[in-house]
Amino acid sequence: MKKRNIYHNQSQEILSLFEDAGSSIKVMCIPMDYAKNDHVVMFCNGNGDIIRKPFSVKNSLEGKQYLLEEVTKSCHHHGINLQHVFFGGEDCGSYSDNFITTLRSEDWLVAGVNAHDAKKQRENMQASTDRLDLLGICKLLLSCRGNCVPAQSGIYLILRTLVRQRRKLVSMSTGVKNRIHTIVDRIFPGFLSERKSGILPFSKGSLLLMQDRFSVHQIRRRRRSSLAKLLARQGVHQPDRCAEKLQQYADQVLKLKWTPESRQKNN
């Protein structure tokens, strides 16, 4: 697949904002270090010059309003259009969801950056302070490396939740199937191998046969016509041939299990 843009690892939304501003100095980047009670924010222009040193903002509606008022004042003072302002912070827990969602609902551009990548951008890798954390976030944002998709809300959140739930269900299903394989291999070895038994593992027919009094002997004693009818009702292709193959394989399993040698080993 051909790349449509040479900056495929960068945010197209942030790149467009810089392009629309015409000059980096006409862009305001606001890195945010999220916290449960008080976020720490800083104002920088597109060149990385600090317009306002780090300060605290309450993680509340009032705090959001205070932040936007300060943004408006700084933009007016430095001649920056409000349309060329964007926010960003590390992907974090749910405690910042309301704050971020409210900003996005008012059409502000809010990017999320990878915490590990932000840490690598710090000037001091051995220490962590609010200022160092903000500098790491800011460097990523100014290099246009951020995810501006609102993955914490709306249809994106629903899709992400469903994908995670499906992954868990697949994992649980695999675990159950593995346990079933272990038990079936003791009762009727090879039954869950379509090549040997002719039955697709865990199909409707397979599950029905395992449901009640399942054993090699029980399968072998069934009338072939009745077995074929049962498989036909479960949508098995060529049920007569399948029933014949299944019972022939049951014969082989019985002979293998009950040879004189195997009896001596059991005794």
Among residues 144, 156, 150, the alpha carbon closest in space to that of 12 is found at 144
| Residue 143, φ and ψ in degrees, nearest 5 | -90, 10
Structure token digits, residue 65 = 């309003």
For residue range 107-149, what is the model confidence (pLDDT) as tens digits? 899 988 877 777 776 655 444 566 778 888 999 899 888 777 6
For residue range 6-23, what is the model confidence (pLDDT) as tens digits? 445 678 889 999 999 999
SS3 218: helix
Which residues are CB-contacts of 57 (< 8 A; sequence separation ≥ 6)? Answer: 32, 38, 39, 40, 41, 63, 64, 66, 67
Residues facing 110 on adjacent strands: 87
Q: What is the structure's pLDDT at 261?
A: 47
| Ranges assigned E (strand) in 15-99 | 28-33, 38-45, 50-58, 85-90
Q: With 90 as the cut, is the pLDDT of residue 246 above it?
A: yes
Integer Cα distance of 106 and 228 in angstroms: 65
Among residues 140, 130, 136, the alpha carbon closest in space to that of 54 is found at 130
Q: What is the structure's pLDDT at 3?
A: 46
Domain layout of the chain by residue ranges: 12-152, 188-256
Q: What is the structure's pLDDT at 94?
A: 77
For residue range 26-78, what is the model confidence (pLDDT) as tens digits? 999 999 999 889 999 999 999 999 999 999 999 999 999 999 999 999 999 99
Say which residue the tokens 């899709």 belong to: 159
Integer Cα distance of 138 and 35 in angstroms: 17
H/E stretch holding 15: helix 12-21
Structure token digits, residue 230 = 């049962």
SS3 157: helix
Write down the architecture of domain 12-152 according to CATH: 2-Layer Sandwich (3.30)
Q: With 60 as the cut, is the pLDDT of residue 255 above it?
A: yes
Q: What angle do CA 151, 156, 161 make, to 5 degrees?
A: 95
Q: What is the pTM assigned to this prediction?
A: 0.53
